[in-house]
A and B are shown apart, each in its own frame.
Chain A
Amino acid sequence: MTENCECPNEERKTSIETLSKEEMLESIHEEIALEVSLDKYYLGVDVGSISTNLAIIDGQKNFVESVYIRTEGRPIQSIQYGITLLKEKVGENFQISGVGATGSARQLTGLVVGADIVRNEITAHSLASLNENPEIQTIIEIGGQDSKIIIIRNGLPVDFAMNTVCAAGTGSFLDQQANRLEIPIEEFGDLALKSDNAVAIAGRCTVFAESDMIHKQQLGHSVEDIVRGLSEALVRNYLNNVGKGKEITGPIMFQGGVAANVGIRDALRRSLIKQNKIKHEDDIIIPEHYDVMGAIGAAMLAMNKIVKNPERETKFVGWQIPDINYQTKGFECKGCPNICEIIEVIMEDKVIARWGSKCGKWDV
């Protein structure tokens, strides 16, 4: 009798625990957990300082298509080019039910594409990563000119940090050093893996790194060793600056453009294992679409917005975005000593937005 009594009790206990956890995750992923609607597709656009990413997901949050191109300081043109490439991939008649914009140029992007929702990168990345793997505890994102860390507990972002003034712990650091060594950045990672003796290189600043690197070259160190030293310098810099004081535990999701680099992946694994932050190499997960996670997150945000408000029509401008003439104009307002820098966005000779003024007198 007693045995019979205990068993269901215990079972119930565990079921409550799993349920509560399930429930919790469900509510947490309210943004993610949505009705199944297969015939609907959502577009996310992430325009950062270095890259412009576009991604399409379906109504079940499955990845459909993506584009990854360089921003090259011209966000509008790169959005237009990205849309052109995406149109070629999916066809002109592909129906988009919602658009989300994120990235440092999210405000401008939202205007150009007609976004239904404009949100910051931290939220977009968290959503995309949690959808990929709800168990993760840390998100490490290293992009072209910024890097961030997001701490996740119980499927909730609880802490974050972004790099400060300096871009030393980011992709452009690698880009520059690869340039100096005249190695294509694509081969950089493989080269690093060939070495088993990393050269110590100061990674705090690209200027110091360069003089350090030249000195090591003159001493006769091989290029492989130097490249591996550079990879370790980047990881060290990231962990000491962005990851300072954060509780980094596995599973970790590593994403952003730099995640493509096998040398950095390896250096990050080694460094975290050495610091006892993770136990196995498998604790670092690199998602399949590591380079467009921000765009996927933005698409998910758009989907959430549309599903929550079913009557709402998307504001998506359409696949003709590349044919529209967008222009931006900047000028200084001399109305008061603040001398605000006003940016004007012009779509086909019509001013659609102005921003930058403190007092709001230029707002459209």
Chain B
Amino acid sequence: MSEKNSTKQHKKRKKRVGFPRALLYYYFKAMWESFFEALGAEVILSSPTNKVTKDRGVLETLDDECYSTKLFHGHVLDLLDKEIDYIFVPRFASRKKREVACPKFVALADILKYTKDNLPPIIGPHYSTSREKHGFWRLVKIIFEIGFKFTKNPLRIIYAALKARKDHKTAMKNVSIDEEALKKWENSEILLNDAPAIVDGEKPLKVALIGHTYVLNDSFASLDVRQRLQKLGVDIITSEQMPRKLLERQILRLSMVNYGLEFSEPEKLPKKQLEKHLFGRNDYFYFEFEHEIVGTAMHFLENKSIDGILMLVNFICGPVSVSMEYAKLFAKKIKSETPIIILSLDAHTGEAGFQTRLEAFSDILRMKKSTGTIPKSVKMVSGSIFESWS
């Protein structure tokens, strides 16, 4: 890590690999860090997003890029000041069969190559499971290609790869909870995040905070949404914390039939058929990182276990524009009574508008809660609280 400055004084300096603290880093940090460290490299991270990162990133990129990509470029510029020998930007397309991530991820390395001067060599392996030849052996090839840049010992490379795999699994386990824990949270038996403040002696609200990991875990990009909600007395669960199996089950219920959306009941999907279902269908919702977004929204729109849903998106995210519509259609279809608000963020630091919307949303949820049961005949306008704020 960056604080290991003492290594500089060594005669044989460790090779320094820079990771931009943006986008995919938030998903794979455990894997990447332990892999490179086990190979004997020093991992250099860009500083957490700040005003300078933002300003440099916004200046550097085209207007059409999404806010998160703009921040990514800011992080790269930050890294270039840190004397790195390599920069790690994988050309990552997908990790499961028939799935894709955001197409921007594949392009990042090449965009950097052609737009930045004085760039150190990029380590940018291309991996895409939707391609036929990108299976296990491809992965082995990538691992050794990278490994030999840092060590001549093949055993060390294998050890690094296995350690990375193990650490990634542990990290994933630590982030997401199991279904039992979810039940407990829904019944207010446990807390998954900071304890919410007590507002006017009232019980905390329960809200699902939905968004990409790289938005929710970047306090600058998300305008400190977690702390703001905590102060408003809101107990949250984030989409990355949701049980993975539950999310996949929700996604399999989605199917596009004749350009219309259909949702099957969860029990109508026999378990054995799931796999077949997945690979045999061409209407499968294939955006890998959208699964947790749509899946979480579907779960909470259906189960009245929480007070509301807050969806945070970075302007102008392509995949989210699809998942947002899916969530809205689903809410309409099942006549959900769970209020949902969608806030989109861009490169502005005036936070008053954001705060006003959060406050108004929590006020509405509290008023709804204090009235107790609302007659069933009443049509709640749900899934329609749509706010674009940019």
CB–CB A247/B384 < 8 A: yes
Task: Judge whether B367 and A28 touch: CB under 8 Å.
Answer: yes
Contact across chains for B357 and A151 when beta carbons are under 8 A apart: no
Known contacts being A120-B356, A122-B363, A162-B353, is A153 close to B370, with CB within 8 Å?
A: no
Cα-based distance from A245 to B331 in the complex (angstroms):
15
State whether A151 touches B371 (Cβ < 8 A): no
Q: Are B370 and A27 in contact (CB under 8 A)?
A: yes
On chain B, the residues within 8 Å of A120 by CB distance are 355-356, 359-360, 363
Partner of B51, one of A122, A161, A338: A338
- Contact between B352 and A337, CB atoms less than 8 A apart: no
Please tell me which stretch of B168-176, B206-214, B257-265, B375-383 contacts chain A, meaning at least 4 of its Cβ atoms lie within 8 angstroms of it. B375-383
In the bound complex, how far is the Cα of B379 from the Cα of A246, in angstroms?
A: 14
**Is there contact, CB below 8 Å, between B371 and A24?**
yes
Docked-complex contact A164 and B390, CB < 8 angstroms = yes
Report A311 CB to chain B, min CB distance, Å: 15
Q: Are B370 and A30 in contact (CB under 8 A)?
A: yes
| Residues A119 and B379 in contact, CB atoms below 8 Å apart | no
Which residues of chain B from 335 to 390 have a CB within 8 Å of any chain A CB?
A: 339, 352-353, 355-357, 359-360, 363-364, 367-368, 370-372, 374-375, 378-382, 384-390
Contact of B359 among A27, A119, A154, A165 (CB under 8 A): A119
Contact B381 A159 (CB under 8 A): yes
Residue A104 at the B interface, CB < 8 A?
Answer: yes
Which residues in A have their C-beta under 8 angstroms from that of B220?
338, 358
Give the residues from 23 to 37 in chain A that come closer than 8 angstroms, CB to CB, to chain B.
24, 27-28, 30
- B238 at the binding interface (Cβ < 8 Å): no
User: With A and B bound together, what is the CA distance between A104 and B353 in angstroms?
Assistant: 8
Residue on A nearest B374 in the bound complex, by CB: A154
Whether the Cβ atoms of B381 and A337 lie closer than 8 Å is no
Residue B224 interfacial (CB < 8 Å): yes
Which residues of chain B are within 8 angstroms of A123 by Cβ–Cβ distance? 359-360, 363
Q: How far is the CA of A340 from the CA of B382 in the complex (A)?
A: 37
Q: Are A122 and B371 in contact (CB under 8 A)?
A: no
A244 to B381, CA, bound (A): 14
In the assembled complex, A58 has its CB within 8 A of some CB on chain B: no
Question: CB < 8 Å: which of A162, A247, A336, A340 contacts B381?
Answer: A247
Tell me whether A156 and B371 are in contact in the complex, defined as CB-CB below 8 angstroms, given that A119-B363, A337-B47 are known contacts. yes
Contact across chains for A337 and B363 when beta carbons are under 8 A apart: no
Say yes or no: A162 contacts B357, CB within 8 Å. yes
Contact status B370-A162, CB under 8 Å: no
Task: Let me know if B53 and A156 touch, CB within 8 A.
Answer: no
Task: Indicate if the CB atoms of B387 and A162 lie closer than 8 Å.
Answer: yes
- Tell me how many residues of A have a C-beta within 8 Å of chain B: 33
A122–B359 alpha-carbon span in the complex (Å): 9
B356 adjacent to A156 (CB under 8 Å): no
Most chain A beta carbons < 10 A, residue from B50, B220, B360: B360
Is there an interface contact between A158 and B380, defined as CB atoms closer than 8 Å?
yes
> Is A121 positioned at the interface, with any CB of B under 8 Å from its CB?
yes
Among B219, B368, B370, B385, contact of A160 (Cβ-Cβ < 8 Å): B385
Kindly provide the distance from the CB of B89 to the nearest chain A CB, expressed in whole angstroms: 22
Chain B residues near A338 (CB, 8 Å)? Answer: 50-51, 220
Q: Nearest chain-A residue to B389 (Cβ)?
A: A164
B52 contacts the other chain (CB 8 A): yes
Kindly state whether residue A157 has any CB partner on chain B within 8 Å: yes
Instruction: Determine how close the nearest CB of chain A comes to the CB of B83; give it in whole angstroms.
Output: 18
Q: Does A153 contact B371, Cβ atoms closer than 8 Å? A: no
* CB of A181 closer than 8 Å to a CB of B: no
Select from chain A the residue with minimum beta-carbon distance to B360. Answer: A122
- Taking A120-B356, A120-B359, A247-B384 as contacts, is the C-beta distance between A157 and B367 under 8 angstroms? yes
Provide the residues of chain B in CB contact with A207, threshold 8 Å: none
Tell me if A339 counts as interface (CB < 8 A to partner B): yes
**Do B352 and A104 touch (CB < 8 A)?**
yes
Q: Are A158 and B381 in contact (CB under 8 A)?
A: yes
- Residues from chain B with a CB closer than 8 A to the CB of A27 are 370-372
CB distance from A310 to the nearest CB of B (A): 15
Chain B residue numbers with a CB within 8 Å of A244 are 386
Set A121, A158, A337: member contacting B50, Cβ < 8 A: A337
Asked if B363 and A161 make an inter-chain contact with CB atoms under 8 angstroms apart, the answer reads no
Known: A161-B387, A338-B50. A153 touches B378 (CB 8 A): yes
CA distance A24 to B371 in the complex (A): 7
Write the nearest CB–CB distance from A117 to chain B, whole angstroms: 10
Give min CB distance, A167 to chain B, whole Å.
13
- Closest-by-CB residue of B relative to A336 is B50
**Nearest residue in A to B364 (C-beta to C-beta)?**
A157
Alpha-carbon separation in the docked complex, A156 to B337 (Å): 14
- Chain A nearest CB, measured from B57 CB (Å): 13
Shortest distance from the beta carbon of B258 to any chain A beta carbon, whole Å: 24
Residue of A nearest to B378 (CB): A154
* Smallest CB separation, B231 vs chain A (Å): 12
Q: How far is the CA of A165 from the CA of B371 in the complex (A)?
A: 34
Which A residues lie within 8 Å of B51 (CB)? 337-340
Taken together as a complex, chains A and B put the C-alpha atoms of A336 and B50 apart, in Å, by: 9
Chain B residues, Cβ within 8 Å of A246: 384
Residues of A within 8 A of B53 (CB): 337
Q: How far is the CB of B262 from chain A (nearest CB, A)?
A: 23
Q: Mark A110-125, 1 if CB is under 8 A from B, else 0.
A: 0000000001111100
A156 to B372 Cα, complex, angstroms: 12
Contacts of B368 in A (CB 8 A): 156, 158
CB of A186, distance to nearest CB on chain B (Å): 30
Does B385 contact A28, Cβ atoms closer than 8 Å?
Answer: no
Which one, B224, B371, B384, contacts A245 given CB within 8 A? B384
Minimum C-beta distance from B377 to chain A (A): 10
Measured between beta carbons, the chain B residues less than 8 angstroms from A28 are 367, 370-371
Kindly name the residue among A27, A159, A336 whose own CB sees the greatest number of chain B CB atoms within 10 A: A159
Assembly CA distance A337 to B363 (angstroms): 34
With beta carbons under 8 angstroms apart, the residue of A119, A160, A165 that contacts B364 is A160
Q: How far is the CA of A358 from the CA of B227 in the complex (A)?
A: 11
Contacts of B355 in A (CB 8 A): 120
On whether A122 and B384 interact (CB within 8 A), knowing A154-B378, A160-B364, A337-B53, the answer reads: no
Extra 17 A-B pairs, beta carbons < 8 Å, given A120-B359, A161-B386: A24-B375, A27-B370, A104-B356, A121-B360, A151-B381, A153-B381, A154-B374, A154-B378, A156-B374, A157-B364, A158-B368, A159-B381, A161-B387, A244-B386, A337-B47, A337-B52, A338-B51
Question: What are 29 A-B residue pairs whose CB atoms fall within 8 Å in the complex?
Answer: A24-B374, A27-B371, A30-B370, A104-B356, A120-B359, A120-B360, A120-B363, A122-B359, A122-B363, A156-B364, A156-B367, A156-B368, A156-B374, A157-B363, A157-B364, A158-B380, A158-B382, A160-B364, A161-B385, A161-B386, A161-B387, A162-B356, A162-B357, A247-B381, A247-B384, A337-B52, A339-B51, A339-B52, A340-B51
Question: Which residues of B are at the interface with A, using a C-beta cutoff of 8 A?
Answer: 47, 50-53, 219-220, 224, 339, 352-353, 355-357, 359-360, 363-364, 367-368, 370-372, 374-375, 378-382, 384-390
User: Shortest 3 CB-CB distances between A and B: which pairs?
Assistant: A122-B360, A337-B50, A120-B359
